[in-house]
Amino acid sequence: MTALSGKRILLVIGGGIAAYKSLDLIRRLRERGASVRCILTAGAQAFITPLAASALTGQRSHTDLFDREDEADIGHIKLARDADLVIVAPATANLMAKMAGGHADDLASTVLLATILPILIAPAMNVRMWQHPATQRNLTILRQDGVHVVGPNDGAMAEAEFGPGRMAEPLEIAAAAERLLAPSGPLAGRHVIVTSGPTHEPIDPVRYIANRSSGKQGHAIAKAAADAGARVTLIAGPVTLPDPAGVTTVHVESAREMLDAVEKALPADIGIFAAAVADWRVANAGEQKIKKKDGALPNLSLAENPDILATIAHRSEDRPPLMVGFAAETEHVIEHARQKLAKKGCDLIVANDVSAAGGVMGGDSNTVHLVSASGVETWPTLSKADVAKKLVERLGAMAKGGQP
């Protein structure tokens, strides 16, 4: 595994003779497990062809802002989002100037203005162009904007001149990309499994039993754990939320599917079970849609679902060392949470009051109590995103051997 394994790179190729090295860069990035998609500027196409780039990436290359097929297929805004890192190589003086000035007059510059992803540029140009105050000014602006820079290197240039301006070698650019994407943060190197959302328990192919969980808290935790450097597997019940960026999301419907997905995702360092799992399923669910029959009510019999948290917490061989459960309560919150801590066999319970009046289910804020063997800690009302961040910080400290 490298820091580039499974990462998606958008490679913007500018118009310079170094564009030929970008073809090698594609191979270096792919060797390290990344997938690469290319945008070629008009200038780049004077040196290399979109076909050559596509042959090496295995994906279609993009060239035109107003290409009807392209816009219908992926669209420039999606191009600017659907990756983990943007690399601009070669970054010509002109491309750097456009980026620094916020121009958007072709596909490459528009995507670079529209993106919120980290950007790494590998400048390449004639030594005098590189040393020109305008280029140096642009470089300063780009650095201030948070753009990362690799190279240029000193050396012989295509025009038989010597000095800085040669594009960094593909291996150097790949290494810089690896450094940028290497996990860092309090949960770096840890695998975290998060369950989130409700489960749907079928009554027949069109009806199901569900609950009011939106998945907002669980999804926020998955994102916060990924932001803290963890490799995150999110097992999500049916929710309307988008999959969080940087997280491997597995979609499930029922409690039994959720348990199965969690077992497949093991081993993990931390398990956070935020899903509102349905306690019961319909034992005699209809294979076909159950029809109304002259006022006779269907006879549904219920069976208990597996308790995912308790099942995993009581596994002997691969229990994650740190297990966190949630307690959704409408009364006696702390008392019930204490009972759940013992019964489920987890290390920490995050308890919250889900009475309708509090608006927690489906809402954007939460008031939680952390219940563990060392006592109870009540946090002020926070946004679900802030609860997630604070919880992840706490788990980072606990994973290093700290108190709950």
CB of 380 to ligand CTP, least distance (A): 22
Q: Is 130 in the site for ligand CTP (CB under 6 A)?
A: no
CB 350 within 8 A of CB 327: yes
Between 36 and 221, name the residue whose CB sits nearer to ligand CTP: 221
Among 173, 273, 392, 395, binds ligand CTP (CB under 6 A): 273
Q: Is 327 in the site for ligand CTP (CB under 6 A)?
A: yes
Quote the tokens at residue 160: 């038989």
Strands 368-372, 8-13: pairing is: unpaired
Among 326, 369, 385, 391, binds ligand CTP (CB under 6 A): 326
Among 277, 282, 341, 348, binds ligand CTP (CB under 6 A): 277
Among 11, 48, 275, 285, binds ligand CTP (CB under 6 A): 275
From 158-166, 184-192, 272-280, 394-402, span contacting ligand CTP (CB under 6 A):
272-280
Site map (CB under 6 A) of ligand CTP, residues 142-171, x = contact: ------------------------------
Between 157 and 258, name the residue whose CB sits nearer to ligand CTP: 258
Between 63 and 199, name the residue whose CB sits nearer to ligand CTP: 199
CB of 308 to ligand CTP, least distance (A): 3
Site map (CB under 6 A) of ligand CTP, residues 181-200, x = contact: --------------x-----
Bridge partners of 196? 236
Q: Is 307 in the site for ligand CTP (CB under 6 A)?
A: yes
CA dihedral 220, 223, 229, 233 (to 10 degrees): 110
The question of whether 126 is a catalytic residue gets the answer no
From 56-64, 106-114, 201-209, 320-328, span contacting ligand CTP (CB under 6 A):
320-328
φ, ψ (nearest 5 deg) of residue 9: -110, 130
Quote the tokens at residue 218: 């669980």
DSSP 21-84: HHHHHHHHHHHTT-EEEEEE-TTGGGTS-HHHHHHHHSS--B--TT-HHHHHHT-HHHHHHSSS
From 123-131, 150-158, 221-229, 322-330, span contacting ligand CTP (CB under 6 A):
322-330
From 107-115, 156-164, 273-281, 282-290, span contacting ligand CTP (CB under 6 A):
273-281
From 99-107, 201-209, 285-293, 305-313, span contacting ligand CTP (CB under 6 A):
305-313
CA angle 368, 375, 308 (to 5 degrees): 60
Distance CA 197, CA 50 (A): 43
Amino acid at 253: E
Q: Is 305 in the site for ligand CTP (CB under 6 A)?
A: yes
CB of 203 to ligand CTP, least distance (A): 18
Between 229 and 325, name the residue whose CB sits nearer to ligand CTP: 325
Distance CA 249, CA 232 (A): 8
The footprint of ligand CTP on residues 334-363 (CB under 6 A) is 340, 344
In the block, residue with structure tokens 């759940």? 340
| Cis check: omega of the bond before 267, within 30 degrees of 0 | yes
Among 90, 237, 325, 396, binds ligand CTP (CB under 6 A): 325
Q: Which of 184, 181, 174 is nearest to 11 (CA)?
A: 174
Among 19, 117, 173, 328, binds ligand CTP (CB under 6 A): 328
Q: How many helices (H) and strands (E) does the chain have?
A: 14, 21
Among 253, 279, 386, 393, binds ligand CTP (CB under 6 A): 279
Quote the tokens at residue 76: 């420039």
Distance CA 392, CA 144 (A): 30
- Give, for 394, the enclosing helix (H) or strand (E): helix 384-399
CB 202 within 8 A of CB 254: yes
Between 120 and 313, name the residue whose CB sits nearer to ligand CTP: 313
Catalytic residue among 94, 211, 305, 352: 211
From 48-56, 153-161, 268-276, 393-401, span contacting ligand CTP (CB under 6 A):
268-276
CB of 272 to ligand CTP, least distance (A): 8
Distance CA 88, CA 121 (A): 5
Distance CA 353, CA 333 (A): 6
Determine the 3-state secondary structure of 127 from DSSP. helix
Distance CA 114, CA 9 (A): 16
Q: What residue ranges bind ligand CTP (CB under 6 A)?
A: 195, 255, 273, 275-277, 279, 305, 307-309, 325-328, 340, 344
Residues serving a catalytic function are: 211
